[in-house]
Each structure stands twice: as structure tokens, then as C-alpha cells.
Structure 1
Amino acid sequence: MHCPFCRQGETRVIDSRASHDFVIRRRRECLHPDCRRRFTTYEKIEQSTIKVVKKNGNRVPFCRERLRAGIEKACWKRPVSEEQVDAIIAGVESEIHESFEREVNSRFIGERVIEALRELDQVAFVRFASVYRDYEDVNDFVEELEPILRTGPAPPR
């Protein structure tokens, strides 16, 4: 590792810490006698780009921000925090990288998000499902809501 200040190649690691999303934070010190400055580096696993196979057969690169946009639309004006949205995204992304090497079907991603939203917020769940599952009429909504209505309302937060 080259020192960003003096460009010398001799540094030593002072401290290493693992953080979320498989990132390692390292504090380093330059060993050049005229510099001796400290700096932080981050080490992340380079993952291959996974393609998402859409309903129409097109293949597009997996985009975390696109997933976020869909979840945020479903959670608009709902009591869902940004941390909860981040947790859903991280969980889905982790499952994708664990289960697939090159391609993932968009259906897999959508179903994982639906499962997470069903547990988190029923209104956000219905919103996301209505777009994802492309409901044709009110009967489709009723079919989706029947299991929720049978078990009763969600406990208050």
C-alpha cells in the first residue's frame, strides 16, 4: 500500500476492523521516516456483476439503487425508516450473492422484497405487490389481502 501523502510504498497496519457488508477498515501508518502519517483504507470484496433476467427476457445489471427506489415508493408516507429499507436491500442482495453466480430472475428479487415488506408494513407490502404482481382488478387485491385479513390486524408499534 502506497502512502497517499508521500507516495512511498512502505506502510504498516495499525488496526483492522470488520464492518458491515464485508468491508474491512484498516488504519495504516507510513514507515518513511520523513512522513510517518496515518491514514485509513477500506478493503471490499470485488463481486462479479450479476445480471437480472427481467419478465420479458432482457438482462440488465443488478442495481441496488433501482431496488431502493421501488421499496421507497412502496414505503412512501409510511412509518418505515431508512435503516429498515437498507436492511431489506442488504438482505436481498446478500441472498442474491449467496444463491446465484451470474444471473438472477427478477421474480426472485420481487418475492424476497414482498416477504420482507409483509413483515414490516402491510400497506407498503400491498403497494409493492400491486406493482410487482401487476394486478388486473380489485379481486386480485382481495386474494392478496385475504390471508392478512384472516389473521387480523398487525400489532401496533
Structure 2
Amino acid sequence: MEELITLKEFIQQGKIPEALELVEELEEMSKSDKLNKIFSYGIILLLHLIKKVAENRTTKSWQVSIFNSVKQIQRTNRRHKAKGTYLTEDELRETLQDAYESALRNAALEAFEGTYEAEEIDAMVNREEIIEMAMDLILERQSTDGTSED
């Protein structure tokens, strides 16, 4: 809020270069906040996809968490007025790759009642396939039979 007051003062004083610099800073802060939210929901999404693949099963709770995480990522990434997205497809993939290690560590605590270490869970799944599953869900890609892939 303080930044908006400062911005207003810069504009009233005719300090346009300072105002523009502050606007750029505010844009960066907003994008950083959105990136952090997408990263956090990405961990949850990847966690449940890892458990689903490693255990070769799913639960209603996992499915709801997957659905909610996907919706929150889509919602956070969507630019409402300008249309489009904050993160490109490549940036989104990079964010999921960054989130993978945290998701894997969480999956080790939850999958198979916590009996395996993260490295052992990692050996049970294909990292790139998990990330691609997440991308397909987020981007709402359709499988060949016309249904959304889970």
C-alpha cells in the first residue's frame, strides 16, 4: 500500500521516470507473488501425481487435491484484463521442475506409509513423465480418446 501512495506522490509531483520505475517494481513484485503461489500449488500437484504413479493407485482425496491444485495454478497464472498468462509454458515447466524435489520429499513421507526414502520413490517414477502429466492437466491437454488425462 505504501508503494501506491508513493506512486501517487510521484505522479502529482510530475516525477514520471520515478513513477515508471516504481510501476516496474510493483509489476515484478506481483509476478514474484504469483510465481510463489504457482510453485506452492505445483508441489501439491506433483506430490499427488508422484504418489499416484508410485503406488499405482489413487484416492478421492488425492484426486480432489490434484483438481484443486490445477485450478489454483490456472487461476493464478491467468491475466484477467490483459488476457494471456503470467508464465509462459516453458516458465511453467521450469517452475514445476524446481518444485519437483520438494514434492518428492513430501511424497516419501506419505507414499507407502513413509517406508521409502525420497531417492527410492524417485526410482519408482519417471520425473519427466510426472512433470508432463502436470503440464497436461494445467494446460488442459486432451488425450486421444477426448478425455483429460489424469
Higher helix fraction (1 or 2): 2
TM-score, normalised via structure 2 length: 0.27
Structure number with larger C-alpha Rg: 1
Higher relative contact order (CA 8 A, sep 6+): 2
